[in-house]
Structure 1
């Protein structure tokens, strides 16, 4: 599968483990319960912007896997053949033809992979996924998305999403398919991110379902537009209320009712998102963390760095240097 994207084929156990770890999470990998003469595996990787497909298969024995670091992305585990018993904390999910499993950021897991297990990981980068949810909600996402770990593929919406992944695999197998025509971010990435958010329960499901149930008041929309257009400005509650044409208390009440956060918190998250975009896009040597912080209204760089780390899981200097 995904033969045009093969990374290793027929590799022995150590190389198979190292290859998988380089595209997913560092882990320990060992045969389960008995010695074997030879275990080998193959890996293929297709990247589509913030979403990647990582396909792996092995043969020769059951394998025990222990993640040695927390996952820092969203990982949907699908079985193409065989099964995988995944344990995260007190919850256990058996991945097979009827059930997928989702590992969310900051989780650790152990796994038992059946012999001749063929697995597909749909890897979605955390911050791109959360930004995508923010665009759907029209508000900042203040906490990581937490999915229900077991994904019942007999559920019609989940079944459609899994079928879409299979269609993508088929499309990638054709060198002139839709994925091959994409120039920048693949339309598949946005489609699958939206589909997963709609088909699998998570801690923002209620907000996403109610997003279009009640229109936002005009004053609130004017305040939100000002924040989106000029987040670097001095956006006190008083200035936002003046732009909205309502009193500060009414504006704060509408923010809590329709947006879910206070105005100051919304401004902070928009500024952090813009700073993150600049740091990711910056070329080495063209800017500094302080430049980006001041550009988006942060007057105290250490406080900016602390808020950024809490939001994105790393210091802004790490994001800048990764570019």
Structure 2
């Protein structure tokens, strides 16, 4: 087995601010970036290692840099280790806190940085969609919410993972297969840092006033393959169990446990639609998604999808 993804290993530096700006504009396929000197003597360094699935980048820019980052289909997590930075404008502005990872808005955004050191991890969308597919999320329906503030546990997992990945991808003797595994590990850590948001979420949940219930719903979609309870969701949403139940009934017309069951039944259907009738075991698929009792599962599936599982599999 081989992996033919092209390796990336770039490094450059400059003492000329215009040269540095033009290099970054080219590296990010951008336009209309403005750079100015500050009280600091100007210096610029840039490095990138990885492959087409994932790259790790480091930037040092002693000066003021601002502009617009163009939309991207990839997922980019950045954090500063020195200096100041702002992403977006007005009410949507995000302050880059030293050491705190921040997912870059995929739709693009304005930015301003000053006298900064920055680290970035860029993960190819196809790599993340492959992992999400293992959790029952269809390609094209993978979205991450950059406005979520990762908790301390997720950030620690991310930092530990990036440290491991960095040591490996910087080793030019590392095999392509090991490099590929690091890309997968990075994607896994990203899914811990920012929960998956499926395109099927009701638009009402995207409103700021429903942020608590949205976190619970996102958690269900992200962790449907694991044992989760209403109590878990209440903790995620920072709500009492009673408040959670009321919110689910009000917004979704179903109890938290009922919503978990619906999502799992939908994942079963996705697997059966994609399955081969000659080799796919309905019982095995059902057990994968937490349905151990064949009779109750079949009845619940019929109620949810209007047909029996065997009918779906034979389509």
Shift of 1:42: 1.8
Change (3 A) 1:161 1:222: closer
Residues in 1 aligned to 2:118 and 2:46: alpha-carbon distance in whole angstroms: 10
Change (3 A) 1:41 1:210: same
Give the equivalent residue in structure 2 for 1:224: 271
For structure 2, list consecutive stretches of 5 or more residues without a partner in the other structure.
1-7, 198-217, 228-259, 278-293
User: What secondary structure is seen at the aligned counterpart in 2 of 1:99?
Assistant: coil
For structure 1, list consecutive stretches of 5 or more residues without a partner in the other structure.
231-243, 268-323
CA RMSD of aligned residues (A): 4.1
* Selected match of 1:159 from 156, 159, 167: 156
Give the equivalent residue in structure 1 for 2:143: 145
Contact 2:142/2:196, CA 8 A, preserved across alignment: no
Per-residue CA deviation, residues 16-52 of structure 1 (Å, 9 max, x unaligned), is 23433444341432235x7889744221111234111
Contact 2:144/2:194, CA 8 A, preserved across alignment: no
Per-residue CA deviation, residues 148-195 of structure 1 (Å, 9 max, x unaligned), is 33544x61221221232133223344445xxx1333752111112112
Shift of 1:102: 0.6
Give the equivalent residue in structure 2 for 1:93: 94
* Selected match of 2:61 from 40, 58, 61: 58
Residues in 1 aligned to 2:190 and 2:40: alpha-carbon distance in whole angstroms: 41
Shift of 1:7: 2.8
Change (3 A) 1:64 1:104: closer
* Selected match of 2:35 from 3, 24, 31: 31
TM-score when scaled to structure 2? 0.59
Give the equivalent residue in structure 1 for 2:195: 201
Residues in 2 aligned to 1:92 and 1:144: alpha-carbon distance in whole angstroms: 24
Change (3 A) 1:221 1:88: same
Residues in 2 aligned to 1:23 and 1:256: alpha-carbon distance in whole angstroms: 51
Contact 1:88/1:108, CA 8 A, preserved across alignment: no
Contact 1:84/1:111, CA 8 A, preserved across alignment: yes
Shift of 1:128: 2.6
Residues in 2 aligned to 1:251 and 1:227: alpha-carbon distance in whole angstroms: 17
User: What secondary structure is seen at the aligned counterpart in 2 of 1:130?
Assistant: helix
Contact 1:81/1:96, CA 8 A, preserved across alignment: no
TM-score when scaled to structure 1? 0.58
Give the equivalent residue in structure 1 for 2:14: 10
Change (3 A) 1:229 1:82: farther
Per-residue CA deviation, residues 286-312 of structure 1 (Å, 9 max, x unaligned), is xxxxxxxxxxxxxxxxxxxxxxxxxxx
Aligned length: 232
Shift of 1:71: 2.4
**Within 5 A, what are the aligned runs for 1:268-287?**
none
Residues in 2 aligned to 1:224 and 1:150: alpha-carbon distance in whole angstroms: 29
Shift of 1:75: 1.0
**Within 5 A, what are the aligned runs for 1:40-119?**
40-59=43-62, 61-67=63-69, 69-87=70-88, 90-105=91-106, 107-115=107-115, 117-119=116-118
Residues in 2 aligned to 1:256 and 1:185: alpha-carbon distance in whole angstroms: 45
Shift of 1:127: 3.0
**Within 5 A, what are the aligned runs for 1:119-268?**
119-135=118-134, 137-149=135-147, 151-152=149-150, 155-176=152-173, 180-183=174-177, 186-203=180-197, 204-213=218-227, 224-225=271-272, 227-229=274-276, 253-254=303-304
